[in-house]
A and B are shown apart, each in its own frame.
Chain A
Amino acid sequence: MSFFSEIASKPWTDEQIKVDDQFKGHTFTLPKAMLGLRVLLVVVTMFFTLLAIAYSGRMTFEDWQSLPEPGLLWFNTGLLLVSSVVFRWTKSATQQGRNGKVKLGLFLVGALAFAFLIGQLIVWQQLADLGHFASANPANGFFYLITGLHGLHLLGGLVAWGRTTLRVMRGKIGQEKLLLSVEMCALYWSFLLVVWLAMFLLLLVT
């Protein structure tokens, strides 16, 4: 039943009472943690959308000077992409219960994600060496702000990744819980990839 037809029902009528009595207590057939994560992703999407709107609004002023995009950004994008793909692969390994592959996958994901973050820091360094500080003009400010925030979100993801990995190493996690953790992390990784691609595109076209 869709949300709208649900709120159109008349809960006091006998017919509706019969229907409602069957209700099992949850609106979605999702684990709670997964729903929680999805709601969080909506909030984060809102956050980056607002930044993007602010950015493109500012861009329309005539004094806009855009920033050079170091080639390294492309490489970093590749790292994040691969990291996210490997996470999907790890997820299917988890589903098949192949623990060795899961461990390998998690290691790779972590290494790639850290490499991405280090790559981003090097990009900052390169830009700063060229004299593009955050305060030089609004385009620079936005660049540092957006990349910084994206990096922070990835760091947050790495905390969750770290917890999962530790548990896998210790072998102290049930199959079902492990699958849920890996699924959630993988979703988060893909989400951050999409956010990054959107932001990168925005930075590129300007």
Chain B
Amino acid sequence: MIVALVLIFIALGSVVFHVVNPWWWTEIASNWGYIDDTIVLTFWITGTVFVAVILFMAYCILKFRTEKGRRAHYEPENKKLEIWLSVLTSIGVAGMLAPGLIVWQQYVTVPENASEIEVMGQQWQWNFRLPGKDGRLGKTEIRFVDDDNYFGVDPNDPNGQDDVLIEGDDLHIRMGKPIKFLLRSVDVLHDFYVPQFRAKMDLVPGVITYFWITPIRTGTFDILCAELCGIGHHEMRGSVTVEKDAAFQEWISEQETFEEVQAAALHRKLNKELAQNELEPRAKN
């Protein structure tokens, strides 16, 4: 009796909890509303099965609880029933899988007009690189990395000269324009995760991974790392601001390009050499 009631309570209680509890996903800020829809669809299909199975179980416990004179029925199997159940289950599963795969097809097909933004992870900080006027990112390689070339941009690649570099600071992106995030890491695995975008993907050293979104509302959102990356994993934060085109243009024009960074570095170096040259004769004296 109690057992059956508890089972009924859990089955129905779980549904009620689902409906009334205050914890649900954040308001979406990207085009991936379909993902949310697929989750809701999956929830109701599977939820129905859960409730049905548990209620049936509770019913059996109430009805067939042992008592004097009761003897169980002898029935090794029931082919027809089993076939029916297999077919129904397969239909239910297909009903979740098909929409899922359709949306996945969209997820892996990047629109042609998407602009590229590079996300570079390192322990434990986010860096970004945006293409300059030419709309293209220069090549990178680990061997080019040094104190003055944080991103490892190939100095001989003309595409890379006007790349905008953002080191450990916030990222801004344009609303309504599809963006392809190119992800790479210089050390361990990380994962670029903005809950409001729904999309996420690992950053893997040695390869470039990607995903794409179209931001659909303005605002500033947290970036978290979603792949354990060492002791500072939980502190690897950043933020991304979605804004209208004008604001974005203003922001990007204030950022430094690779060329400028290199030039500044050269400048520093020359100054230092100069200073040293000035020092040296004195030292000789």
- A residues apposed to B, CB below 8 Å: 10, 12
Contacts and interface: CB of A to CB of B under 8 A. Distances in A.
A12 B77 CA distance: 10
Contacts of A10: 76-77
A12 B76 CA distance: 8
Chain B binding surface SS class = loop
B134 to A, nearest CB: 27
A140 to B, nearest CB: 18
Interface string B74-103: 001100000000000000000000000000
A30 to B, nearest CB: 32
Interface of B: 76-77
B284 to A, nearest CB: 45
A102 B23 CA distance: 77
Contacts of A12: 76
Contacts of B77: 10
Contacts of B76: 10, 12
A12 B75 CA distance: 10
B78 to A, nearest CB: 13
Nearest to B74: A12
3 contacts: A10-B76, A10-B77, A12-B76
Nearest to B76: A12
Q: Which 3 A-B pairs have the closest CB atoms?
A: A12-B76, A10-B76, A10-B77
B18 to A, nearest CB: 40
A104 B76 CA distance: 61
A10 B76 CA distance: 9
A12 B74 CA distance: 11
A108 B76 CA distance: 60
A10 B77 CA distance: 10
B74 to A, nearest CB: 9
Nearest to B206: A61
Nearest to B77: A10
A5 B77 CA distance: 18
B208 to A, nearest CB: 14
A68 to B, nearest CB: 26
A172 B76 CA distance: 54
B81 to A, nearest CB: 16
A60 to B, nearest CB: 13
A10 B78 CA distance: 12
Nearest to A12: B76
A16 to B, nearest CB: 11
A104 B158 CA distance: 74
A124 to B, nearest CB: 28
A63 B77 CA distance: 59
